[in-house]
Amino acid sequence: MACSEAWSTRSIRRRTASGLLTPAHVRAQERTRLLDAKRTAEVARRKAEDEANRSRYLDQLGKCEEATWNQIEAHIQKRQPNEYDKAVTLLTDLRDLMARQGRVTAFQSALGELRRTHAAKESFLRRLTNAKM
């Protein structure tokens, strides 16, 4: 009878649904917070890696700047839309390179000359405008 007396004298605490769900919600929130932190760190890592790759690319482009201007001219001369797109992409790269070097006015001057030379190529000029150049 000692056992039954122990059960009757001891107050039994019943767990409520709220008492069960609250710790589960806390754990779920912590998992979510950790996943968000991990995603944020991964995005930052990828962004830093992309910026480093872009910087290396621009450094290489700086070593052959004159050849790049010649490539741009060759793309424009082909008078094809995809070639115009390639020329605009290279011009964007040169703009970024020259801005990094503090030579924005030199780029603007060369771009102005390019616009004057190819003024009859409306499709090319439209692409330059769309690229905000």
Predicted local confidence at residue 1, as pLDDT: 47
Counting other chains too, the contacts that 14-22 makes at CB distance below 8 Å and 24 or more residues apart are none
- Structure tokens, 43: 């995005």
Number of neighbours of residue 75 by Cβ within 10 angstroms: 21
* Contact (Cβ atoms closer than 8 angstroms) between residue 121 and residue 76: yes
Predicted local confidence at residue 7, as pLDDT: 54
Per-residue pLDDT of the chain (133 residues; tens, 9 = 90+): 455 555 555 667 777 777 777 888 889 999 999 999 999 999 999 999 999 999 999 999 999 999 999 999 999 999 999 999 999 999 999 999 999 999 999 999 999 999 999 999 999 999 999 999 8
* Contact (Cβ atoms closer than 8 angstroms) between residue 71 and residue 90: yes
